[in-house]
Structure 1
């Protein structure tokens, strides 16, 4: 590598790096714009680098190109440490993958950016004017034929429910995104516009933080404009126009963790200092929007949404949506909620509108359109597409909207034999087809696996409303690059991304998003909002973690007992059978352990495979992973990794499932031992690495409720089957409670019921004893929000270990039954489930006490 990256072609080492970059650069395909040289490629290599790229390579530092592999390694490690991910629907084997960002940025000089920014500002003003005219204006665009009604009112993105509504400040578009590409003539052209719920603002910010730190000298020398002022503009606008005033609550509405860009939604919410909320975190009551939190319902005045229009309100829009908020549109029309962006912009995303934009700009703004689109035609107008159909390979066939039933096709990439079928499609359904001229995308330099390459790319730029009728263009953007050898930019198909550096001819803006310093007297009120959805998922994380640990331990104990040398008594076999069945470790049709131990053992091992039956270890781990995915922003990276490891762990060796009958207990026990270690790490993270806020308290409460139920049931079964009165049953029970070492240290080998119950029921220092669990549970309940009345209801349901007396629970009746113990254990199990239900009603569903917890109204 030293010889490859070393050059003596220039006396100045910095100039030598520029010459070396020109030598190492991959050739750009003829007819594509070469971003590295700022000119169209004629094929082959040659020509000087653009001045800004030459300056970038001069500033690589003393290690030059030899230092780039190390920087690339740092970049990959930082992405891993930050947990930056992207959900890939097209890959069922790996739906979530690490975010891909290239080491090199795309650099845009000041003059070029000034043209882009001016054109983007004008186009956003035009789109906002179209929205105002269509929904709350005279509809000139339709009456004067500037837009065909079929492309507006016939588009599923046109929402009649919003007709007559005018948003605060007449701002319909708070954020507009545009995909731009530079053609062979050097002209920037618009390819797509996204105005419903544009994505990328979080990823581009992460890209900037990652890449700028790796090239600090070049970043400073090139005077790259910073981004924070743009995000400040966005927040200032939302606060200024909010119905709740500057201090009104703002939430970012997310589709949830299965959204392809969920990471950036959580990242952006955290950066902006607002609450990330899913649809079921919010509720509408009396035309007002509220956030469901552990402290009750708190009013929400502004929603920055990442949810497409049709999913926002199942009452008035898409009835099958599970992502939206019933009644949201009514709250918006009542003027109580600001939506950013306003609903109803979906029709503006149609590629069929591009060809109408020049005339619309002249008519609505009185100006010529500065930023052209790619030449586009809507085939719904008679005769318009006759000429393009003669040479269809020069065009991209795009659906007018997403419900047309086909995906966009780059005809130049198709075989000639496929052309007739596409011509027939266009001719058969012309109103559903738009043709957009094929553009050889610009090629940008990339660094990949120790080599300089060139990839096709598009630049997504963002216009943000200033709330006063103007728009601010974020000085940068999200660069998306195509896979090697492709001219189609798609993150779903293996593409990557780059940071975009915009050189400023003015002073660099050092605005920060950091708020004013917090005063000591304000700290008491400074707490992180815990939504009811997050609290519910944390609650179930605790329960599923406890359930999985118990199931793993029980399976190990059962397999060890069945494969051991000692003959098991019928009482012990009956206890093990009931424990395993109630924990879902064997299927219901499995023969009883007392009748056929070998078949029972095989069924137990079979149940360790994936997708066996509800309640088993695998099912519990999958449920744990699902709950953790809903609140990944609240869990540390190691905590998430261990949960991922647990859900991905194969207890039995991978292979042909038909041979699972042949697996030996020793193989299963080995897999269970490794899984047990992972669960111990998860428990450690929950115990020692989470802040003790209300969310953590719900997680802990979930664990203790589950432990009460599981251990109470285990103890009941041991006494009902009389297994506790056998040596092996007595010891199994102690091991199931993780208390055998403590018992032997205190009582040696004396297998007597009173000391057993003292240790497993009453002991307040044994974390597996019912008394310790109940005592800890009550302490957690006291700290939950809601005041003395709420606390009193919950404490009344929770078992009180102070009422348990050893003399009573050890007493036997005339038939030899431990009636008081049975009664106590029955109440423990009943209390656990009643307490779980009541917590769900009060803190998650808010179905009781809602009239007195409106958080300020």
Structure 2
């Protein structure tokens, strides 16, 4: 397992890449638990033992029970499991001590004493203030030195460095004299500069971080190349990193082909065939489930928005005065606009929707805005980077980058229509790549469950807002609904332009050949639920299976022509009863799946300090 801080960490890209490259399972603290001093992975199929953890978290964050009670990232009991020898941790707990700046002052002497030679490359001149002579030198040369904590506390000492850098010279002297052993001083290094392309080309200061690899004979070999860090500020590396730096791999060019080096197992060794599945961590299943939901929600919002904007801007040749009120009702129900805009009596008292709509679409402060939905889609995609293809991730990034307001002027309806068109195309590409590239394991099933659940809810919402009550002149509204549901070409190929309620409702609700119909979603839900892990000895059907079957049978047994004819004559009860049933059962299905398989527990917190005083 590779233990990561999660998507919120600046290093998550490296963690996901490394896990994918090595074939390790990427986990966070919430994915693991400790029972009887044994570390276990929470999966859909139950708890699986963990033997080795590649640690990427800071040591203090790894165990809130014994190390840092405030940490929400670690695994309670991990330290005791390591102590008992039940799990091995690469990057052992506490190994970060070797990075303490205080040791820099003693490197020359240590090298001479232990290896009998001088340092091959001199390190940055450093002075530990715990020695009287060095302390006086530091106090006399504060203007040319950098002061920092003597002992490294990774992830927690950056604020101390910032505070020391802001102190006046007098205050800094008093602070050092009060606890001299806690501080170390280093010479100020003037970093080289280089050009960096940042629209336009700008100068930046450069630092190289080299790497050494342990050999089998207990020696180390310095790797060619490095990690280049660049900063626009001439601050010490420790401070400029906190202000935001760019980073790139540094390659050493060669005149001859370079030998391929791999950390993977050597070719030629036989490996057992396998199919991954139930070992999917519950957190990953949760993120995939909601990724599917947000993907469909984004598409549904975008399709309604595009139809509304097209008619408001006059770019759609239609009876807009009949269709716009219905579309505004849909937008209000989705939360994209204020509900008052959908009430004809209040509409005229509000600011012009033509000017307000482009603003509210990109308003991140509104959780139901189109931009907020795209942000959440991007966040969820980031959290499962180790489980999606590179092309899928590129598509997610492209969606996030392109769906933004105009940079140098206010966004108008025409701009919004173009952005929405592009968004729908990118979302379709996203869906297509995932459908073609994901193996049909549990990861795919939870993604598909999320998609089908959300699409079902959006279909029900569309039918309810557009057909109840039925418009006095329904023809234009029928065409709009078919357009939003991406079913207008199918309708025209069957019925041409003869728009009637029964075939429209049939295509939207009961046509099993239409992948956009409600019955198609329910059939997929039932099929995917049947494939979820369950105890083989459990008799009968699970709760989620029963709900999925109820939903499917409710549509399959529906007499759509009779219901449509009654609805057209003013008897709305048959359709309203079905809609009420679906609106009740779909959240129940989502809750049943979540209750059985997904994550609900919050981070554990230590209620009192248990360390000795």
TM range (shorter): 0.7 to 0.9
Match of 2:210 in 1: 460
Which is worse superposed, 761-770 or 695-704?
695-704
Distance 1:685 1:817 in 2: 44
- The answer on whether the counterparts of 2:190 and 2:234 sit within 8 Å (CA) in structure 1 is no
- The DSSP-based 3-state class of the residue aligned with 1:315 is coil
Which of 252, 255, 261 is matched with 2:2 structurally? 252
Which is worse superposed, 589-598 or 731-740?
589-598
Match of 2:11 in 1: 261
The change in CA–CA distance for 1:724 and 1:806 in structure 2 (over 3 A counts) is: farther
Which of 519, 524, 527 is matched with 1:771 structurally? 519
Shift of 1:309: 1.1
Distance 1:483 1:438 in 2: 17
Match of 1:678 in 2: 426
Distance 1:737 1:628 in 2: 25
Distance 2:62 2:471 in 1: 57
Which of 794, 807, 812 is matched with 2:566 structurally? 812
Distance 1:609 1:261 in 2: 28
Shift of 1:606: 2.7
Shift of 1:762: 1.0
Distance 1:283 1:434 in 2: 39
- The answer on whether the counterparts of 1:294 and 1:785 sit within 8 Å (CA) in structure 2 is yes
Structure 1 position 578 matched with structure 2 position 329: yes
Match of 1:138 in 2: none
Shift of 1:395: 4.3
- The DSSP-based 3-state class of the residue aligned with 1:385 is helix
Which of 395, 412, 429 is matched with 1:642 structurally? 395
Which of 32, 57, 60 is matched with 1:310 structurally? 60
Shift of 1:298: 1.5
Q: Deviations over 1:808-836 (max 9, x none)?
A: 64463999434333222223233322222
Q: Deviations over 1:616-674 (max 9, x none)?
A: 211111110010111123333332222222222245423466xx6xx3x3342223222
Distance 1:736 1:281 in 2: 40
Which of 360, 363, 366 is matched with 1:607 structurally? 360
- The answer on whether the counterparts of 2:19 and 2:386 sit within 8 Å (CA) in structure 1 is no
Distance 1:600 1:487 in 2: 49
- The answer on whether the counterparts of 1:291 and 1:298 sit within 8 Å (CA) in structure 2 is yes
Distance 1:603 1:510 in 2: 57
Q: Deviations over 1:363-385 (max 9, x none)?
A: xx987687586554332455541
Distance 1:519 1:342 in 2: 31
Q: How does 1:406-805 map to 2 (within 5 A)?
A: 406-407=160-161, 423=173, 426-427=176-177, 429-437=179-187, 460-462=210-212, 464=214, 471-476=218-223, 479-481=226-228, 493-494=245-246, 497-499=249-251, 513-514=264-265, 522-525=272-275, 529-563=279-313, 566=319, 568-569=321-322, 575-588=326-339, 590=341, 592-593=343-344, 595-596=346-347, 599-650=352-403, 652-655=405-408, 663=412, 665-723=413-471, 726-786=474-534, 789=538, 792-798=542-548, 799-800=551-552, 801-805=555-559
- The DSSP-based 3-state class of the residue aligned with 2:41 is strand
Shift of 1:538: 2.0
- The answer on whether the counterparts of 2:59 and 2:94 sit within 8 Å (CA) in structure 1 is yes
Distance 1:404 1:813 in 2: 67
- The answer on whether the counterparts of 1:396 and 1:408 sit within 8 Å (CA) in structure 2 is no
- The DSSP-based 3-state class of the residue aligned with 1:407 is helix
Distance 2:320 2:453 in 1: 35
Distance 2:131 2:222 in 1: 38
- The DSSP-based 3-state class of the residue aligned with 2:2 is strand
- The answer on whether the counterparts of 1:548 and 1:621 sit within 8 Å (CA) in structure 2 is yes
Match of 1:248 in 2: none
Match of 2:606 in 1: none
Which is worse superposed, 709-718 or 835-844?
835-844
Unaligned ranges ≥5, structure 1: 1-250, 450-454, 503-507, 848-857
The change in CA–CA distance for 1:407 and 1:527 in structure 2 (over 3 A counts) is: same
Larger Rg: 1
Q: How does 1:273-288 map to 2 (within 5 A)?
A: 273-288=23-38
Shift of 1:488: 5.7
The change in CA–CA distance for 1:287 and 1:428 in structure 2 (over 3 A counts) is: closer
Structure 1 position 838 matched with structure 2 position 585: no
Distance 1:369 1:542 in 2: 60
Q: Deviations over 1:105-138 (max 9, x none)?
A: xxxxxxxxxxxxxxxxxxxxxxxxxxxxxxxxxx
Distance 1:814 1:478 in 2: 73
- The answer on whether the counterparts of 1:313 and 1:321 sit within 8 Å (CA) in structure 2 is yes
Distance 2:188 2:568 in 1: 92
The change in CA–CA distance for 1:802 and 1:339 in structure 2 (over 3 A counts) is: same
The change in CA–CA distance for 1:426 and 1:588 in structure 2 (over 3 A counts) is: farther
- The answer on whether the counterparts of 2:227 and 2:249 sit within 8 Å (CA) in structure 1 is yes
Distance 1:275 1:629 in 2: 16
Shift of 1:599: 3.2
Shift of 1:278: 1.6
- The answer on whether the counterparts of 1:639 and 1:685 sit within 8 Å (CA) in structure 2 is yes
The change in CA–CA distance for 1:400 and 1:592 in structure 2 (over 3 A counts) is: farther
- The answer on whether the counterparts of 1:782 and 1:791 sit within 8 Å (CA) in structure 2 is no
Higher RCO (CA-CA < 8 Å; seq separation 6+): 1
Q: What count of residue pairs does the alignment treat as equivalent? A: 570
The change in CA–CA distance for 1:668 and 1:334 in structure 2 (over 3 A counts) is: same
What is the aligned-residue RMSD (CA, Å)? Answer: 4.2
Give the structure-1-normalised TM-score.
Answer: 0.58
Which is worse superposed, 629-638 or 492-501?
492-501
Match of 2:70 in 1: 320
Distance 1:524 1:279 in 2: 27
